[in-house]
């Protein structure tokens, strides 16, 4: 049996994509081995969110080739989508697979390996460069200058460079223009975790924040059909999973690409992403055996009183909402091309807390964005203190080639970014502990996930609906059990210690 190893970089959506690729290759008789083992094929599921992410992706590609120089090294995902032509010139890369082609990994590998064994890989380049392929859009020039990259750009380079690209993309077929494709088919029916599973309900983004490359690497918004989401969820729940997290690149836009409905006068009505998402959540809430539904992240514009009230009627929804902020200063938000002000954001949080008084509100904040002054940073910090988040994920701005923010000449020095990051990390540590403290001596429902050693003793640990980590000493296995327990104290600053012997199922 042929062996294949995977390594993932980046976000939860990338993790889901890798799980899908692993499932598909296993179903096609590939034996999955650990990445640090010798393997016939290595797949690096790349990330391209920053220049640093690109560098890490290249490092893992080179590491894979060093593990087995005779292996086929596959680069997949966002870095491939962003810079396929340049990546094709890397001698450590044998095959490129873009986003929206990952579900075809088994057939792509079969085609590549068959051509390699037959010694016909160069035919992909010869046919295209000679103009004999007969496929629309392929050019006939020796340098391939009339051919098109997936983003619509020209393929320009030497004969060797263009040949490398065409061989490693099987004749320019393994990477697509993501502005012209639907949601990629593919369902996961198993998961390594027995307690929590992720389902990707959406891909792509139409927002174009000035610091972000993702709309270019993930394409336009594409939503998974509700029936397909429900089918996938039912299969996962049937395997024993009790909590599902809905994820995507921009789930606030779920459904905006669905066919529009006609109004009373026959005109097409604009798609309401909140309506589509609530409808999907309502159907998921009725799945037998599913106990929890968690949303990964969404934008402030999605939150309305109607949407929040709709969520409150679904008993399986976890009141843990990751509401992207990025900055608490209006001037910075404007430069980021975010579509809201700090006060508008605050009103959205107020709506959520009115309906869910004990909600855990988490967020992302970027420090050191180009032109961010000390005054702007202090304004952002004061806003974060006022909102009183459960957790803030603090990011030091990292440049990404190809974005407007990268071209801004007024970059903030790293030493300043570091200082501002430490200030916000200190604030979030304080706020997080205060949020956890409010649950002491209150009964909470915990979904236990795994055993973990803390300060020399082994505990079962799991999360509340608000995603507060709770530890419980138990001689009996508690994996995937829901128990109502009462935290009595902190075990660590980030973990509550609960009493034993409480009720659950």
Residues belonging to the chain:
505
Q: 104 with 241: CB under 8 angstroms?
A: no
Give Cα 420 distance to the centre of its chain.
26
Can you give the pLDDT at residue 137? 39
Q: Name the one residue in this structure whose structure tokens are 């809201």.
A: 340
**Are 27 and 166 contained in the same domain?**
yes
Can you give the pLDDT at residue 129? 57
Low-confidence ranges of the chain (pLDDT < 50): 132-146
Map 407-446 to HEC letters: HCCCCCCHHHHHHHHHHHHHHHHHHHHHHHHCCCCCCEEE
Kindly state the tokens that stand for 464. 């509340």
Kindly state the tokens that stand for 390. 């459960």
Can you give the pLDDT at residue 7? 97
Can you give the pLDDT at residue 162? 87
**Are 407 and 451 contained in the same domain?**
no
**Are 376 and 260 contained in the same domain?**
yes
Task: Using the Cα atoms of residue 326, residue 330, residue 336 and residue 337 in order, give the sign of their dihedral.
Answer: positive
Give pTM, 2 decimals. Answer: 0.91
Can you give the pLDDT at residue 142? 39
Looking up residue 207, the CATH number of its domain turns out to be: 3.80.30.20
**Are 431 and 450 contained in the same domain?**
no
Of 435, 467, 484, the residue that ends a domain is: 435
Domain count, the chain: 3
Is 185 contained in some domain?
Answer: no
Among 233, 224, 234, 216, smallest CA distance to 277 is for 224
**Are 428 and 482 contained in the same domain?**
no
Looking up residue 38, the CATH number of its domain turns out to be: 3.40.50.12160
**Are 172 and 201 contained in the same domain?**
no
Can you give the pLDDT at residue 144? 41
* Burial group, residue 364, by CB count within 10 angstroms (0-12, 13-18, 19+): middle
User: What share of the chain has pLDDT > 90, as a percent?
Assistant: 83
Is 220 contained in some domain?
Answer: yes
The C-alpha atoms of residue 490 and residue 305 are separated, in whole angstroms, by: 35
Kindly state the tokens that stand for 341. 């002000």
Q: Name the residue range of residue 115's domain.
A: 3-180
**Are 233 and 370 contained in the same domain?**
yes
**Are 424 and 452 contained in the same domain?**
no
């Amino acid at each position: 049996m042929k062996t294949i190893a995977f390594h993932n970089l980046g976000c939860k959506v990338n993790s889901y994509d890798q799980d899908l690729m692993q499932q598909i290759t296993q179903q096609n008789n590939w034996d999955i081995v650990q990445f640090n083992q010798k393997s016939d094929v290595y797949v690096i599921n790349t990330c391209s969110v920053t220049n640093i992410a690109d560098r890490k992706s290249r490092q893992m590609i080179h590491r894979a080739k060093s593990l087995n120089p005779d292996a086929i090294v596959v680069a997949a995902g966002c870095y491939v989508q962003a810079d396929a032509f340049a990546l094709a010139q890397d001698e450590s890369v044998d095959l490129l697979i873009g986003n929206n082609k990952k579900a075809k990994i088994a057939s792509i590998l079969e085609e590549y390996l068959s051509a390699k064994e037959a010694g016909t890989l160069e035919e992909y380049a010869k046919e295209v460069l000679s103009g004999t392929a007969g496929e629309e859009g392929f050019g006939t020039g020796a340098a391939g200058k009339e051919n098109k990259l997936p983003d619509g750009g020209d393929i320009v380079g030497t004969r060797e460079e263009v040949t490398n690209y065409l061989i490693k993309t099987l004749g320019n077929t393994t990477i697509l223009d993501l502005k012209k494709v639907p949601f990629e088919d593919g369902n996961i029916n198993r998961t390594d975790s027995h307690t929590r599973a992720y389902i990707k309900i959406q891909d792509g983004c139409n927002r174009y924040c000035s610091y972000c490359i993702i709309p270019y690497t993930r394409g336009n918004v594409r939503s998974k059909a509700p029936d397909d989401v429900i089918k996938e969820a039912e299969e996962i729940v049937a395997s024993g999973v009790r909590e599902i997290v809905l994820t995507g690149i921009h789930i606030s836009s779920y459904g905006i690409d669905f066919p529009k409905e006609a109004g009373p006068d026959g005109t097409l009505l604009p798609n309401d992403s909140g309506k589509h998402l609530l409808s999907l959540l309502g159907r998921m809430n009725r799945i037998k055996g599913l106990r929890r539904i968690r949303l990964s992240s969404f934008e402030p514009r999605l939150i309305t009183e109607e949407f929040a009230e709709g969520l409150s009627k679904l008993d399986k929804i976890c009141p843990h909402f990751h509401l992207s902020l990025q900055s608490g200063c209006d001037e910075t938000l404007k430069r980021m091309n975010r579509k809201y002000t700090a006060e508008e954001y605050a009103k959205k949080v107020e709506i959520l807390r009115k309906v869910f008084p004990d909600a855990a509100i988490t967020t992302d904040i970027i420090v050191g964005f180009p032109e961010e002054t000390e005054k702007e940073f202090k304004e952002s910090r004061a806003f974060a203190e006022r909102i009183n988040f459960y957790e803030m994920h603090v990011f030091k701005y990292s440049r990404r080639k190809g974005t407007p923010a990268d071209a801004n000449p007024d970059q903030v020095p790293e030493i300043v970014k570091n200082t501002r990051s430490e200030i916000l990390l200190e604030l979030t540590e304080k706020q997080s502990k205060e949020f956890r403290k409010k649950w002491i001596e209150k009964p909470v429902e915990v979904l236990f996930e795994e055993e973990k050693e803390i300060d020399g003793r082994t505990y079962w640990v799991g999360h509340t609906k608000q995603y507060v980590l709770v530890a419980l000493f138990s001689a009996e296995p508690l994996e995937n059990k829901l128990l109502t327990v009462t935290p009595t104290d902190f075990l660590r600053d980030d973990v509550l210690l609960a009493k034993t012997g409480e009720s659950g199922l």
